[in-house]
Structure 1
């Protein structure tokens, strides 16, 4: 998702460099970074906190994608493709959080589970 956001935002107007371009790039990076950081935590509770931040960033990015389309910065096809991907990521994070909340034990190498989201 990060690469796709960087690619589409390269075509935004230069005056958006410190606006929507920066916001979208930071949101996409936040998703991956919070999953990675949370995966290194000692407990499910801590991991869930970081996953919830990633989940919020995914909704932030979804809004920014819609705004980018409304401002004619991205095409209909790009909007559809990006929204499909971000919504799938949202579902994966949500499902993972529910799974972790149902477990009461400590994490054992769950960091490997997060990797496929962004390959």
Structure 2
């Protein structure tokens, strides 16, 4: 078991999730059941799966949940790109979130290799 609060990847994913929620609050209401719902679910999935994996008994179980979290970062990255492509928000607002997704993906890869 790993202390999740000490994991930098978990801390960054919590930060990403908060930023996504702030972004979602400023998207058009007609996206409430579309992209808004989807980006929130994807974002929450990242720290949640990291935490669940950290609480498991073996490193292999932890790696499994890191893999799920990694998939969620790619899903979120895609949805953020769609927000740009659909002109729902300017790229300069979304780009830092995409960069944070990529940073978390890299951290995830390194952590899985260490396990």
Q: 2:85 aligns with which of 65, 70, 79?
A: 70
Give the Å deviation of 1:99: 0.9
Aligned match of 2:12: none
Output the CA distance in 2 between the equivalents of 1:20 and 1:60: 11
The within-5 A match list for 1:28-107 is 28-100=43-115
Residues 11 and 73 in structure 1, CA contact (< 8 A), matched pair in contact too:
no
TM-score normalised by length of structure 1: 0.81
Residues 37 and 50 in structure 1, CA contact (< 8 A), matched pair in contact too:
yes
TM-score normalised by length of structure 2: 0.84
Give the paired residue count.
Answer: 100
Runs of 4+ in 1 over 3 A off after TM superposition: none
Higher helix share: 2
Gapped runs of 5+ residues in structure 1? 101-119
Structure ID, larger Rg: 1
- Secondary structure of 2:64's aligned partner: helix
Residues 38 and 50 in structure 1, CA contact (< 8 A), matched pair in contact too:
yes
CA RMSD of aligned residues (A): 0.7
Output the CA distance in 2 between the equivalents of 1:91 and 1:73: 27
Can you list the C-alpha shifts for 1:11-69, whole angstroms capped at 9, x where unaligned? 11111111100100000000000000100000011000000000000000000000011
Can you list the C-alpha shifts for 1:62-90, whole angstroms capped at 9, x where unaligned? 00000011111121211211111110011
